[in-house]
Amino acid sequence: MDEKEIERLMDKFDQSSLMNFELQNEDFKLALSKREEGDTTIIGNPGVADQGTTQSETVATDANSQEAATPVVDDANLAEIKAPLVGVVYFAPSPDKPAFKKVGDHVSKGEVVCVIEAMKMINEVKSDIDGVIKNALVGDGAMVEFDQPIFSVEKE
């Protein structure tokens, strides 16, 4: 990973609501953390990798923002479209193209609603329900965690 890629990741992390981000690829490991004054940091053994993490897997954790980002769904008619992986979410296929879907649009099961960029790969996120998009729960270009809600959808 070159310096420009690291700087780009740092900028994205700084603009995101994530508090911690960790990237491991072969023998390279990058860990970023945002701390507030008074926070305590516990550092584990850096020589021991998490056994559940593969060499090319990206791991991001943030207990506080995950809890805040998961809205309480009072209406049984609302569902969420969630991120299938960790990465940067984009609502349009490219900056000069219109968004796949926006608030108020109808979405069908299997229809692409956004893409997530992870490790320089673009992954389509498809709806698993039919309905109308009621709210975008993250911003375009935001870093998302695995299983983090992206859209709330009113089911048909």
pLDDT single digits (tens) 57-81: 333 333 333 333 334 445 678 999 9
Distance CA 67, CA 103 (A): 23
Name the fold adopted by 71-155. Answer: OB fold (Dihydrolipoamide Acetyltransferase, E2P) (2.40.50)
Q: For 105-132, what is the mean pLDDT?
A: 94
Contact predicate 73/80, CB 8 Å: yes
pTM here is: 0.54
The domain segmentation of the chain, as residue ranges, is 3-65, 71-155
Looking at every residue in the chain, the average pLDDT score rounds to 76
Whose structure tokens read 């609603």? Answer: 113
Distance CA 64, CA 67 (A): 5
Q: Name every residue whose Cβ is closer than 8 Å to that of residue 21 and which is 6 or more positions away in sequence.
A: 9, 13, 30, 31, 32, 33, 60, 143
pLDDT single digits (tens) 9-19: 878 877 887 77
Structure tokens at 75: 């209406």
